Structures are given as structure tokens and as C-alpha cells.
Structure 1
Amino acid sequence: MSIAIRKLDSADAGFRDKLSAVLAFEASEDEAIDRAAAGILADVKARGDVAVLEYTQRFDRVQAASVAALEIGKEALQAALAGLPEARRHALQTAADRVRAYHERQKKECGSDGFLYREADGTELGQKVTPLDRVGIYVPGGKAAYPSSVLMNAIPAKVAGVQEVIMVVPTPDGVKNELVLAAAAIAGVDRVFTIGGAQAVGALAYGTATIPQVDKIVGPGNAYVAAAKRRVFGVVGIDMIAGPSEILVICDGATDPDWIAMDLFSQAEHDELAQSILLCPDADYIAKVEASINRLLEDMPRKDVIRTSLTDRGALVKVRDMEEACEIANMIAAEHLEISAQEPQQWADLIRHAGAMFLGRFSSESLGDYCAGPNHVLPTSRTARFSSPLGVYDFQKRSSVIRVSEEGAQTLGRIAAELAYGEGLQAHARSAELRLKK
């Protein structure tokens, strides 16, 4: 059975409205989910460990005498790592090494060392960069397990210098994923608790007798986790509110159509709300990709999920040319953007909004998900217009440094006093004037 994937043409009347309808996503605003998450958070804040245990039994069907019994010790994490087949252990370690190397380079290049400069009168101004003390990472454990998410969240935190990383991961029916635990060992996670959902977010945000309060919560989760993270922002920091995964492919029509079809599948298989879109100026090529989609789908273990995703939220879009494709890409501001073209850099130069860019025919998005090195925690739902990938900078904070010399206080004091009197703040003005020489 062929997929009824939506086909659009940028030359048609009403194209922008039709594309906007494809991009529309409002599930994260569900009021019932928000109310449920709010109730769970309030309960965890009030009753701590007792509430966490009750919700863990209710939602994950896991019974425990205490929250401490839900913690997995470092010995068990190392045992999980040692128990992996050699090829998988090697792949996990190699991916971790590449992710760590990338983020160590990022730390050097993104102003993580702070700065200080001296003015002529001896006044010193600058910025001090310090890591967060403790962060919590949420690792999904419902529909699938994501050891790659452990690496992408924990490693940049450790590279940043975070002292303690606490991981929470739901284990429905008590089933633990050994690869996730092994990833925690490799990434240097300090403590692991087998709890999930809004109750885990609440425990990390407010702290309980067993789980210490963190400074920031990062990592993706379901709609309840997203709603909970949104509500605790301000009590703790958060990375972002993650929506369904997205891929946008710009292709010049010369890549093997099977490659592009599979790249579209790679996001569609995440869940039914994931989005996969192709932009191409060649109508014949689009038809070839559609044929590849229909031919390859039946061999996919998650074909039902892929079919629903592509039918409900996917699109094959005919554009006038590659320049217009880039213009549309900037409007979409996708999480993952593949530019599958002979000279990808000339088109990448036209892109302003994308979570991550994959340039050239061999740069499949899946490599970025696992082992290329850059972080796979990316802004979704058009938030790439103003947000960035998770990075070392998300686990650091900056403090301004001001050391005014006696001479500098004579100049700055008069300026500050004049402005303070203009604002009607006499104490501000007098504070500056008291330091002026008589």
C-alpha cells in the first residue's frame, strides 16, 4: 500500500498557507497534560520521596520500598558496560570519544575561559565563567531507549566542569536497558535513578530526601515531561522544550533517491508526530524519491509509525530552484537540515536558521544522532530561529567582574550620580558621590 504523502509546489497559489498547515504543531499546548503535570509537581514538592514512589508504581509499575532502592550504583553501571558485546562496547566508546572531543573544542572556541581587561585609570572589567554545580539529565525510557541521549547530555556537562550529574530514566515494569546504563558509565554520570515522567522532573527541581535539587534539567521526554520542565523553569534552568523530531532535506536531484527516502524514514520512525520534508527543484526526482519511499517502506520494522508520520506531517515539495529552497528552509527553521548537493557550502551560506546542518551527499542525519560529535539535542518546532544546540555553554554561567580604581571612581561616580538623579534614585547618586574626592 502506497503512502499518501503530501505533495506541494511552491509555484501554486496558497503555497505558504499549505506549508504552514504542514508545519503547525500544537500538541505541546494540551491543557489537560499541563494540568496533570502541575498536579504531579505540586505533590512531589509537598510529599517528596513518598509521592515519587507512588507515581513510579502507578505509571511504570515498579514497586520499591524507598527511592534509594531505585538508584543504580556505579558498580552496576560498570557491569553493564563490561557485559556489552565487544563490537557494541567499542561503538559506544568511540561515539563517546568523538562527542567529548567535539565539546572540548567547543569549550575552547566559545569563550569559556572568561576575560579581563584594564582601562587607563586602572579600572578592571571582565567576565568570569564557572560551571553549574549540579545538573539533572532526563533520558527517555518509554517507547524506546536512547543511550545516545546519555552521551549527548552528560558529556558536555562534564566537559564544562559540572561537579555532579544526576540521571533519571524510567524503567517500565522494571526493565532496565543495559546499553543506557553502559552509556552512563562511559559518560561519567554520578548518580542514576530509575524514575521518569513529571515526578522525576519535580524531584530534580525541588529535591527530596533522597534526590538532591539540581541547578538545571536537560534532556528530552514525552509531553508530560515537557510540560513539567516548562513549569519548573525559574526554580531551575532547563535546556529547551523539545517537540517532535524533524528533518528537512534540500536536494539538487542528483543523490540516490533511496538514500533520501531512508533519510526521511530516519526521522519518521521516531514517532507518529515526527516530521520529514524534502525540497527539490526537480519534479522527476521527487517522483523517484516517492517511488523509493513506497518500495522501501515494507522492509522497515517501524513501518506503521513511518507511514503515519509521513502521511500526517510529511511533504515532498517542488521548488523553483535551490535558492528558493534555502529561503523556504529559513522559514521552516528545521531541527535537522540536510543539504544533499554537489556544492553544499554555497547553499549552506544562505541558511540562517537550522538546529544542525548536514552538508553533502554522505552526511546522513543519522551520523549526527550517534557519533559525528556535535550535539544531537537540537531546537525543534521552528525554535532554531532563536535557539542553539545543547552545548558546553549550557552548563556554564557568566559573572561580570568590575574592579573600579580610585581614579576611575572619580569619572564614573559623576556620570552615575547624574544619571541616578535623573531617575530619582538619590541613594544611588549619593553612593557614587561619597567616593568622590573632596
Structure 2
Amino acid sequence: MEFTTLGALVGLIIAIILIIKKVHPAYSLILGALIGGIVGGGGLTGTVGTMVSGAQSMMSSVLRILTSGILAGALIKTGAAEKIADVIVKKLGQRFALVSVAVATMIICAVGVFVDISVITVAPIAMAIAEKAGYNKPSVLLAMIGGGKAGNIISPNPNTIATAEAFQIDLTALMIRNIVPALAALVVTILLSTLLSRKSGVMVTEADLEQVTDKNLPSFLAAIAGPVVVILLLALRPIVGISIDPLIALPIGGIVCMLCCGQIRNIIFYTEFGLSKVVGVSILLVGTGTLAGIIKASNIQYDMIALLEAGNLPSFLLAPIAGILMAAATASTTAGATIASQTFSGTLVASGVSAIDAGAMIHAGATVVDSLPHGSFFHATGGSVNMQIKERMKLIPYEALVGLTSTVVSSIIYLL
């Protein structure tokens, strides 16, 4: 089937409107795909067939994401993620509080915890330090969000898995490819959060602090054991040519984490908790696949190439632009990166851009404006520091600068 660009755009716009109206994103994407396909000239039968094919193309990503929940559940429930954050913050001290908060969130996200959960995990520690050091909420939240964005593009998280699957490239290679852009984003995060700390803003008070009883956290060595095992397993392919699929590496890391933290007896509970954290993303990806199928089968990719050529712009810019636009439309890094990768992978590779470079640029681009108010990340991160929506809105331009930094650096690396 082939659909018109108008149909693809209509489907995308309808999905955006429904998401803004608080309809579940998966249903919004499915309904948008259905209407867009019919408007685009596919007919009911052809549209449904293309939607099903698009959803089917997501199954390998969904399977890997479901198994990644074992690692995420282990890191969160054993206290390993919190211990890693706590040690980093304490080692760097109050003098470098914003640096430590950004680095801690980056590392927690990079080892396999979702970006919103990473922020929520670090938030109590960050808030306690901010109250003592006299930092305002915007500066602390930006440090966490920016660190999370930096860690997200080098993590085995759903967005990375979906991008690697769409381009049929090695997950580890994609993670490594964006290390320099991630570090650049981290530096900009620290600079911007420091700038915000010198401006007036809502201060952190004792009332904002989480009243916690003494927690029995694991040792630092036990906490990092699981992530280290995952990194080593995924690194076997580029180092010695032995390929360990993330579907195997991520669950093994989670089990090692539980063993080293002395919590293997809770494996059923922790894996169920991890599953509860990834099932929403998995369902979202199925819905994303239906709309991606319609958009991929439309003329939109050729029309975008034509626009770039009309403006005398190089075709490789399609990668970061697609990532930025699709993530903004869905207010989700995962959905944005998935739709952009599924739709434009073939066109980008055919135009001479290597799959690894195109995937890296799309992935980085999907972190620019992925935290708009019609997505859950906006509200989850604001709630982690008890911030009002009006104040939270003011952070969006700063977050966009962080994501734009990694995107620009990723594009410069391609040109080099």
C-alpha cells in the first residue's frame, strides 16, 4: 500500500490531539493511524493491513524491552540504583552538588533505568542536598533531567533498542556511538543548571524533603555488579566478536544484581515489578508501530527529502529533524525515535548515510523536545520535586538546549 503525505500528517495530528486530550497514547496512535490511512487513500482493508504489519515490526523490540524489565526491577527494588546515586553525590559533595546530581542521574539512566524513573530515584537525594546548599528547584530538576537525557542516548533503554532494531544495527554500537554527544549534553546541563541556580526560583524547603526511615541499601560493589555484567556481555561483540543479545544480557544483569544484593529470594516480586514498569512502554510501542506503518508507507519521507533539497540542505539532516519532530509530536523519546527510525531508515541509508550514524542522529534528536506537557515525562519529573506546572513549563527551553547539544554534536561527528 501507498498512502499520501496528507493522510500521514492527518493521522499524526489526530494522534497528537487525542494525546493532549488525555486519551491513552496507544489508543491515540492506533486511531490516528486508522483515520490517517483512510484519508491517505488506503481504504479500510489496506489501512488495517498496513497497521498490523507496522505493529508486527515492533515485536522484536517489544520482546527485548519486556526482558529489560528484569534489570530495571532489580536496580530499583534492591536499592542498587539509589545506592549508586547516593555514593556519587556524597563523593562529589555539596560544593559540586549540581554536578553530582547530573552525573548520578546520567549513570542511573545509562545502566538501564528509564529516564523518568532515574529522575524520580535521584530526586530525594538531590532535594536533600539542594535544601542544605541553598539551590532552587529549577536548577536541581534541570540537572536531573539533563543528566537523564545524556544517559538515555547511551543506555539499553526502549528508545535505544527500538532505534537499533529499526536500522538493524548492534545495540552496543549505537550506545557507544553517542558517548561524545552524551558528554557534551552533560557539560551543557551543568552550565545551564548552574546559571539557573543564580536566578530567582522556588527554593527547596524541609517540607519538600522525603521523610525516610533508615534504608538498608546494598554495598556499592553489589549495586554496580548487575550493570557491570550487562556492559561486559554487550561489549563482547565489538571486543571479541561474540554476540550476546540484549534479550539475554539484560535479564542476566538483573539476576546478578539480585544475587549480589542478597535479594534473589525476591526474584518473583522484583521481576513482576520490573514488568509493570515496561509493560506500558511495550503497549505504547505496539500503538506506535501502527502509525509508523502508515507513515512509512506514505510519501512523507520523499516529500521531506524534496523540501531539504529545495532549501539546498544536505539529506543527512533528515535524521535529526525527523527525531526532533516525531518526539515533539508524541512527547516521548521512545515513540519519537521509533516512528522516525521506522519511517526514514531506508531513505537515509539509500541516500548514503550509514545506518549507525543515522540511528545516532535520530536518537539524539528525539531528546530535544520530548518533554512537552502532553506527555507523562513532563508531569512525572515536575512531581518529583513538587513543582507547579507553570514553573515546570519554564524549564522546557533549557531541556531543549541540552537535547539540541547532543543532536548537533552527533551530526558534527557524522560530518567528520
Give TM-score scaled by structure 1 length. 0.27
Name the structure where strand makes up a greater proportion of residues. 1
Looking at secondary structure, tell me which structure has more helix per residue. Answer: 2
Higher Cα Rg, which structure: 1
After TM superposition, the score normalised by the length of structure 2 is: 0.28
